[in-house]
Amino acid sequence: MTDNANRGAIWKNDRKEADNHPDFKGELDVGGRKYWVSAWKRREDASPKAPALSFSIKLKDDQPEQSISQRAQAAMKRPAGASNRDLDDEIPF
């Protein structure tokens, strides 16, 4: 089984019916959370092998939404036994 943590992929959108529909669609995993990805070519004459793209990312609906403060608190948690000395470094500023 492939580990897709912190990875994503997009494919050509075969269902594009209007100019505002994305040219590409796909999925993304960031830190175990799943997202939908939509991408539009920035120029119609872009190279088909390497187009410049603009992206839109949306959390998939099947996951509970966390507030910004909940995400910040989770990111700031340190492993058990860690102290402020573990964060000290040699940089003088």
User: Taking the complete model, does pTM exceed 0.85, yes or no?
Assistant: no
Least confident among 28-32, 80-84, 88-92:
80-84
Q: What 8-state DSSP symbol labels residue 23? A: S
Q: Could you give the C-alpha distances from 29 to 11, 13, 43, 59, 86, in angstroms and in order? A: 16, 19, 27, 10, 30
- Give pLDDT, residue 56: 93
Task: Report the distance separating Cα 12 and Cα 58, nearest Å.
Answer: 18
pLDDT in tens, 46-88: 887 888 999 999 999 866 655 555 655 655 665 555 555 555 5
What mean pLDDT is predicted for residues 3-27?
92
- Give pLDDT, residue 87: 57
Give CA torsion, residues 60, 54, 20, 8, to 10 deg.
-30
Query: Which residue ranges make up each domain of the chain?
Result: 8-80
Q: Specify the 3-state DSSP secondary structure of 56.
A: strand
Q: What 8-state DSSP symbol labels residue 28? A: E
